[in-house]
Homo-oligomer: A and B are copies of this chain.
Amino acid sequence: MPAAATRRTTPRALTRWALSLALGLGCLSAVWAYDAPVEKKTFQMQQLTTVGGKTIKDVRIGYETYGTLNAQGNNAIFIAHFFSGNSHAAGRYAASDAAPGYWDSIIGSGKAIDTDKYFVVAADTLVNLSPGAPHVVTTGPASINPDTGKEYGMGFPIVTIRDFVNTQKALLDSLGVKKLQAVIGASMGSLQAMEWAASYPDMVERVIPVIPGGVEANPYLIETLGAWAAPILSDPKWNQGNYYGKEAPLQGLAEALKLVTLSSRNYGWAESTYGRRWAAADKNPLDAWSNQFAIEDSFAKVSAARAQQADANSFLYLVRANQLFRVGQTATLEEGLKRIKAKILFVPAKSDLLLFPDYSRKATAQLKAQGNVVETFEIQGDGGHLDGVFLIGQAAETIRAFLTR
């Protein structure tokens, strides 16, 4: 607080400062939650055989850990990330980082996912959306194919959520993890959590799917994901995925990311964030085609900026992986469901317009019908799907308690 130090500080101001710190700036505590900055590491596998029967050589995924694994290797919790996310769930890589990891409010010393008690592992997925971003390590279409010395492009094998989980399993094996107290993830991370429960039922005690997709991708989600991908396929610069070393299809990718944001939000949020304001106060959209509403202008700018860090082919691989999701990746849903032993805590967001709360309601009925223990905590808010990321704090005490059940 250097600015405060130069002002004359009254006792009342000091009290106010302490109070605001305690109430509003709780995230600052994350800086002190770990002795050292979070370290991003790389896990390597010689090869992965995919669900589709293909082989990927020299698989590399990034990961980070918080807390310490116990001697029995049974105090671990795995955090799976969402579509546009990465392993950075908590803490800071450096004290100077502008913000901590996305779920820092629930992961750390004394927090709901208590790093004094649990060994928390978070990893980048295969085909991560942003292979070129700092701190992201992934294997996907933008990686060099060891057999050709060139980027895979669309020749990379189609992968599934199960393939993500299998690389994570290999990572956890390498770390000495024997038992997962829980797998937690938001959105696409929730699919991975459910897949963990179906794929490795004896290893997973609990799963906490947040803003959950249920137990398989609903066809409405399949079509929505396809609609996200369409602007990339239509961009001539995409060129069947052969754009590495050339100009990337940034316009198509930005349009795709715009659709992702739209799906991830809600009309309540739009109303309070933008209203019907124009992008420029003197430029009425009634008067010219280039005059826009503020929400359109903002979405365009944010998406164009985000496209700079993302990879169009990786976007397409993520779309397909999500479309293909069915627990266990089995021929029938029933087969996959039957494999699940873990206790489940679904954490849907009430205003979610992408992975609707009905998806976990339906899954709850199916899982309870076969005898699973299923609980639900619904996040309140009008922010849409992203409430599962930003308002996870609402579920903190429920998660803390669920981890001891």
Q: Which residues of A contact B (CB under 8 A)?
A: 51-52, 154, 158, 160, 216-224, 226-227, 230-231, 234-236, 251-252, 255, 258-259, 262, 265-271, 273-276, 285-289, 292-296, 299, 316, 320, 323-324, 326, 353, 356, 358-359
Contacts and interface: CB of A to CB of B under 8 A. Distances in A.
B220 A286 contact: no
Contacts of A158: 285-289
Contacts of A221: 267
Contact of A52 (B216, B227, B287, B320): B287
A219 B271 contact: yes
A404 to B, nearest CB: 34
A262 B219 contact: no
Interface residues of chain A: helix, strand, loop or mixed (majority): helix
Contact of A234 (B255, B266, B267, B326): B255
Contacts of A259: 227
Given A287-B158, A323-B285, A216 B295 contact: no
A153 to B, nearest CB: 11
Nearest to A356: B267
Contacts of A235: 234
A293 B223 CA distance: 8
Contacts of A252: 234
A323 to B, nearest CB: 7
Contacts of A356: 267
A283 B216 CA distance: 19
Contacts of A270: 218-220, 222-223
